[in-house]
Amino acid sequence: MTAAVTIFRARHVRTLDPSRPVTDAVAVRDGIVIATGSVEELSGYGDVNFDDTFADRVLLPGFVEAHSHILEGHLWAHEYVGWFDRIGPDGVLRPGTTSVDDLLDRLNTLSQVIEDPGETLIVWGFDPIYFEGPRLAARHLDAVTPNRPILIFHASGHLATVNTALMTAEGFADGIEMEGVPVDADGRPLGELQEPAAMSLARTAMGTLFSGLVSAQSIGRLAILANRAGCTTVSELGIADLKNPAGRAIWHEVLDDPACPIRISLFHNAGGDFRDIEEIVAFMSSLVDNGTDKVHYGNVKIILDGSIQGFTARLNPPGYYRGQPNGIWLITPERLEELMRALHRAQVTVHAHCNGDEAVDVFCDAVEAAQGAHSWADHRHTVQHNQMTTQAQYRRMSALGMSANIFANHIYYWGDQHRDLILGPARAAAMDACASAEREGVRFSVHSDAAITPLGQLHTMWCAVNRLTASGQVLGEHECISAETALRAVTIDAAHQLRLDHRVGSLEPGKHADMVALGDDPIEVEPEAIRDIDIAGTVVSGRPFPI
C-alpha cells in the first residue's frame, strides 16, 4: 500500500521552480516532493493528510550552504567572545565582546560556574582587530583568575592569548626564546602566542580545543545551528580523514538518522594528500559508493593560497594596500595541474580555495589545461571565496564553465578593514563581486565558511544584496545584487556546485522535501530587512523540525 501524501500548507510557497515560482502548498510522500500547487490540485495525488506546522509561514527550499566546516559545531563546546553578537546552539544570544574590560567580565562570569578550580577555561572568536586600547596580555587575564589557566583562541585562528597560570602549567612562564612569543624586558612572555608553533606551547588547552573535532557532539551542534539558520544542506570543505572508514562512520551514525535535520556534502581535501595521483583517483571512485541520502561524497577541495586579512593570499599587481609582500602558495602549480588533469579525467568536481586573484589565475590555468586534455562539459569546478576575482577572470571562468562561491559575508565582517588597511578603497569596493559574476554569466553561490563567520543564509543574502559594512557604510554599490539572485545563490545555485541540484535547492517533483519556514518572503521584504526575517524551522525529507 502506498504511503499517504502529506500536504504542507503555508501562507505561500516560493519554490525556485521556474514553471510555478509561487504557489500555496507542497505535497510530500516518502520524503520526496510529489508536487507543489494549490491544496485543491494536490489533493488529487492520493490519500492526503495535512501538516500545518508552518501553515502561517512562507515555505521555501531549505537553504544550502556550499562552504562550511565542522568547526562551526565543534567550537561551541566552549564559549564565544567575538566582537559581533552571535547565537549559540542553545538559541541564546551572546552579545559581542567589544573591549578588554568586556572580555574580563565575561571570563569572570564563566570562571565562576566551573566547579573544578584548576580546569582550564577556553574561549574563542576573540577579534581585537575591531577595538582600540591596549593589546590583550596575560596581565589582564591574571587579574581575573590567578589560578585557573585561560586560553583565548582568536578569530583569525593564528593567535592565542594565555594567562600566567597556563604558562606556568606548561612550563614557560619564566621565559622561552621562540619566535611568536613576545616577552617583556625581563624575558617573561607577555601571554600572546603567535602562529601555530607558538600556540602549540599551550599544549593541553590546544589539545582540548581540537580533540574530537568530528564527534557526535560537534556534528549534533552543527545540525542544530543549521536548523536555526533554516539550512538543510551543509558541506564540510576539507576534512581529510575520509580514507579511514571509522572517520566516515561517525558522519553516518549521526546524519543517516532521520531525526538529524541536515544533509551534508563531505569534500576530500586533495591538496594535503601526497599520495600517488592514480591512488587518489581510485580512492575518490570508491568513496562515492559510500554515499547515502544524507551524506554525499565525491567532490574534492584544494587550497591554493592563504587569507587576505592574514596577508597570505596570492595577489596579482598592484597587490596589498601599501605594497606588503605577496602571500604564500599552499600547492605548486605543477602538482595542481597534475591533480586537476587526473581528477577532471575521472569526472571529479574540484573546488579550489582562491582568496587572491593570482590564485584564481593559477586555478583557471589548471582547469583550462585539464579541459584541453579531456572534455567534460558539466565539470562544475568552482572557485571558492572569490574575494578578488576580476572582471577578466569572471569572463574566463564563464568560458570555462566554472562556478564561483563568493564570500559575501566578508563585506560585513571585515569590509571596513579591507578598505582601510588591507586592500584600499578601490579594491575593497570590488570585493566579492556578485553582480559581475552574474553579468558575465558565471553561476555563483554565497557562503559563510562557518565557523569563520556564522552559518546563516539570510545574513549572507543580506550582505550580497546590501553590501553594508559593520560600520554601516556601503562598500561597492555597483556590485549589489537583487534578492532573487541572492535567494538562488543560497538554494539551487549552491546545490548545483555540490552536484546536488537534482536532489535539493528547489521544490520540484522528485526532489527531497527539504524546506525552510520563514516569517516573511525574502523577495517581498525591504532589502535591508532580509537578515531580520524570523525563521520558524525546517523540514528535511518531509519531517518538520520547528525551532
- Interface with another protein (CB under 8 A): 170-171, 176-180, 195-198, 200-201, 203, 206, 240, 272, 274-276, 314, 325-326, 328-335, 358, 361-362
Candidates 66, 100, 96, 61; CA nearest to 82 is 96
Q: Smallest gap, in angstroms, from Cβ of residue 178 to another protein? A: 4
Q: Smallest gap, in angstroms, from Cβ of residue 432 to another protein? A: 23
Cβ neighbors of 378 (< 8 A, separation 6 or more) are 401
Cβ distance to another protein smaller for residue 357 or 432: 357
Q: Smallest gap, in angstroms, from Cβ of residue 171 to another protein? A: 3
Compute φ and ψ for 142, nearest 5 degrees: -60, -30
Candidates 225, 232, 261, 213; CA nearest to 87 is 225
Cβ distance to another protein smaller for residue 134 or 325: 325
Cell 539572485, residue? 485
Helices and strands in the chain: count of H runs, count of E runs:
19, 25
Q: Smallest gap, in angstroms, from Cβ of residue 416 to another protein? A: 28
Cβ distance to another protein smaller for residue 169 or 266: 169
Cβ distance to another protein smaller for residue 314 or 381: 314
Nearest-angstrom CA–CA distance, 390 and 330: 21
Cβ neighbors of 98 (< 8 A, separation 6 or more) are 83, 130, 131
Q: Smallest gap, in angstroms, from Cβ of residue 362 to another protein? A: 6
Cβ distance to another protein smaller for residue 291 or 333: 333
Are 538 and 261 in contact by the 8 Å Cβ rule? The answer is yes
Q: Smallest gap, in angstroms, from Cβ of residue 329 to another protein? A: 4
Cβ neighbors of 464 (< 8 A, separation 6 or more) are 406, 408, 411, 432, 434, 446, 480, 481, 485, 486, 489
Are 95 and 85 in contact by the 8 Å Cβ rule? The answer is yes
Cβ distance to another protein smaller for residue 334 or 378: 334
Q: Smallest gap, in angstroms, from Cβ of residue 188 to another protein? A: 16
Cβ distance to another protein smaller for residue 284 or 487: 284
Compute φ and ψ for 512, nearest 5 degrees: -55, 140
